[in-house]
């Protein structure tokens, strides 16, 4: 879930446990809105066809039906879905996004209403302005300038998420919400094995060279499916580790089990140190700690 450069935020649940949420990427949010708008557009189109071809309603009544439908297919569309689907719309479901309360509380119906009432100025007004032909405005230069000014003005609202840290729309600000990823992560098998099964053993000095960051890079590498690229990278990493710890018998090493065993040993080593308050974030910190401990216990 936590990919590189991800915007992580911590939310305190009512149980008092902070959970990490990852803010939705702006591209994903734009994509979700586009999908929703597409659905709305298709639904409106279908509604027009239905009114014209199937119902006996003609003229004014048909128009009334269309007007009321097109009203409910705007902001209320988003509200209804976010209420029924726990903070998701069809578009958000595709991108695995979810609306959540910024303070970690329950998402209230009021917050959902607030964040969607503002879509009028963020989505629909600019969209309408973009669709206007200059000739509809009477074609005078002043009208065009006014339309452009309005577009810029509404554009500020539309683009607001770009300009703040938490990627909030104006509706999110008023509703007290934000949009986060809610992607299921599968639990894979534990890579560490019992010591008796290990072929290779390592001294503390050989394990002191790396920190948590390197451990988790190694984990990711071991979990990747064994394509040729992965195998090449593994060979590369193996050589680097062998260099780093000055492994004696380089040619007799079985790469796969060496990496697995080194991972298990390193994890055990780092977890034990972490338990005693010595959490080594990466190899630089590991090196510093190592130096200090040799100073203290020569």
> Within 223-282, which residues bind another protein (CB under 8 A)?
223, 264, 267-268, 270-271, 274-275
Taking residues 47 to 76 in sequence order and writing x for each that binds another protein by CB under 8 A, - otherwise, the string is: ----------x-xxx-xx--xx-xx---x-
Longest Cα separation, the chain: 95
Give the list of residues 6+ apart from residue 235 with CB closer than 8 angstroms, or none: 255
Binding to another protein, residues 163-182 (CB under 8 A):
168, 170-171, 173-176, 180, 182
Give the list of residues 6+ apart from residue 155 with CB closer than 8 angstroms, or none: 126
At its nearest, how many Å lie between another protein and the CB of residue 52? 15
- The DSSP code for 121 is I
98 binds another protein (CB under 8 A): yes
Residue 101's SS3 state is strand
CB-based contact 203:278 (threshold 8 Å)? no
23 binds another protein (CB under 8 A): no
Nearer to another protein, 54 or 295 (CB): 54
The first and second tokens of residue 212, run together, are: 């948590």
CB-based contact 266:198 (threshold 8 Å)? no
Nearer to another protein, 67 or 295 (CB): 67
199 binds another protein (CB under 8 A): no
At its nearest, how many Å lie between another protein and the CB of residue 109? 5
User: How many angstroms separate the CA atoms of 150 and 138, rounded?
Assistant: 16
Binding to another protein, residues 102-121 (CB under 8 A):
102-103, 105-114, 117-118, 120-121
Q: How far is CA 274 from the centre of its chain?
A: 28
Name the residue among 178, 34, 19 with its Cα closest to residue 95.
34
At its nearest, how many Å lie between another protein and the CB of residue 178? 11
Nearer to another protein, 53 or 185 (CB): 185
At its nearest, how many Å lie between another protein and the CB of residue 193? 9
The first and second tokens of residue 36, run together, are: 């929703």
Nearer to another protein, 35 or 221 (CB): 221
């Amino acid at each position: 879930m936590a990919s590189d450069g991800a915007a992580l935020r911590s939310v305190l649940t009512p149980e008092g446990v902070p959970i990490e949420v990852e803010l939705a990427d702006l591209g994903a949010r734009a994509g979700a809105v586009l999908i929703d708008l597409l659905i709305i557009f298709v639904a409106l189109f279908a509604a027009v066809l239905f009114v014209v071809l199937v119902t006996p309603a003609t003229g004014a009544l048909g128009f009334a039906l269309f007007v009321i439908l097109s009203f409910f297919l705007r902001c209320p569309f988003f509200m209804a879905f976010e209420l029924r689907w726990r903070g998701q719309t069809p578009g958000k479901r595709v991108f695995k996004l979810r609306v959540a309360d910024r303070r970690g509380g329950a998402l209230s119906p009021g917050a959902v209403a607030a964040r969607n009432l503002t879509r009028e100025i963020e989505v629909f007004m600019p969209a309408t302005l973009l669709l206007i032909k200059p000739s509809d405005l009477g074609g005078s230069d002043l009208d065009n300038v006014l339309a452009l000014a309005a577009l810029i003005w509404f554009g500020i609202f539309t683009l607001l998420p770009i300009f703040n840290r938490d990627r909030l729309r104006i509706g999110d600000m008023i509703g007290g919400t934000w949009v986060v990823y809610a992607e299921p992560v599968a639990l894979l098998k534990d890579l560490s094995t019992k010591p008796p099964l290990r072929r290779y053993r390592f001294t503390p000095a050989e394990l002191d060279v790396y920190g948590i960051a390197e451990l988790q890079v190694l984990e990711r590498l071991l979990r990747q499916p064994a394509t040729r690229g992965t195998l090449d990278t593994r060979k590369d990493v193996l050589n680097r580790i062998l260099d780093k710890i000055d492994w004696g018998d380089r040619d007799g090493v079985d790469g796969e089990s060496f990496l697995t065993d080194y991972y298990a040993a390193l994890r055990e080593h780092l977890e034990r140190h972490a338990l005693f308050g010595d959490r080594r974030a990466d190899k630089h910190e590991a090196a510093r700690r190592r130096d200090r401990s040799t100073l203290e216990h020569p």
